[in-house]
Amino acid sequence: MDKRVNIQWFPGHMNKARNEIKEIMPQMDVVIEVIDARISYSSENPMVAALRGEKPVIKILNKADLADPDLTQAWMAHLEQQAGVKAIACDNNKADDVKRIIALCKKMVPNKVGTGRQIKAMIMGIPNVGKSTLINTLAGRAVAKTGDEPAVTKSQQLIKLDDDIMLYDTPGMLWPKVENENSGYRLAATGGIRDTAFDFADVASYTAEYLLSAYPELLKTRYKIDELPKTDWEFFEMAGRNRGFIKKGGVVDTYRMSEILINELRSGKLGRITLETPAMIEAEEIIVAEQRLAAEEKKKAREEEKRLRRLKTRKNRK
């Protein structure tokens, strides 16, 4: 099935936060970026790399308990190929996982430890990756507002973690344009974008196509299907019928089934699932680069056409 999505969601407070982060970034010693282990590429904010420059960064693959463990390890190795990057898989519910972050901060900025000079660490992440819950566990107290909806935190705050580390919290930020349409679908499927900002059935259809290929056994087990169909719409028909989602006239309520699929993916009821692999992303980035180049060439052609029209108009006036 050919699908198109255009998910752009950049509230005003996110733009304000980006400008504030740009101003205080030079003061930071280390950046902590929280990403979703299920979408380790799509939940990375490209603005973080642009804003941090050469500062060391700790990539926290959060919600690792919901992700495919083998792919989490693959993503950690892939991310650490970047200069100045350390990666940790983390489950918000495990305090030991979270406290390793404090130890790593000190390891990455050893010149300040025990000197009375605080390490300044900025924590960043897109909406709904569990950043606020992570902060509360790090601090050992409720200092950050949490919620299941994206974009709960809307302003910066300072949090003292211990005598050596001061944490600068920032609002969850998406970037103005998601170039890779696959990333848009994955962000929507995992809850990084408000459900009102996209077509729910479209995202569920995209997700079902991927799961039929990548995690067929999980679908069979969860929805009691002995032999999976080949298409997403046939899957929604079959699974919806098995769940008893029947409307008048014996028609299956496939929309309700699509909601169930996404909600059970998000909650982990479907199983431990990762929606992208390093190899997939390498292929997608080639396509995105080609699309970007084509768009730039098209823009240049339009500008040249306008220039020629202006010249022609000037000549006619003479």
- Binding site per annotation, positions for GTP: 62-65, 128-133, 172
CA 191 to chain centre: 9
Question: Cβ distance 277 to 78 under 8 Å?
Answer: no
d(CA 43, CA 35): 5
d(CA 186, CA 206): 9
Q: Which residues are annotated as a binding site?
A: 62-65, 128-133, 172
- Give me 198's structure tokens: 């996209």
d(CA 220, CA 200): 22
Q: How many CB atoms lie within 10 A of CB 312?
A: 10
Are β-strands 57-62 and 85-89 bridged in parallel, bridged antiparallel, or unpaired?
Answer: parallel
Longest distance between any two alpha carbons in the chain, whole Å: 79
Q: How many CB atoms lie within 10 A of CB 31?
A: 24
Cα 32–Cα 57–Cα 174 angle in degrees, nearest 5: 55
- Give me 157's structure tokens: 């705050």
Element (H, E) at 36: strand 30-36
Are β-strands 119-125 and 30-36 bridged in parallel, bridged antiparallel, or unpaired?
Answer: parallel
Q: Among 134, 131, 135, 143, which Cα is nearest to 172's?
A: 131
Are β-strands 119-125 and 157-162 bridged in parallel, bridged antiparallel, or unpaired?
Answer: unpaired
Question: Cβ distance 45 to 125 under 8 Å?
Answer: yes
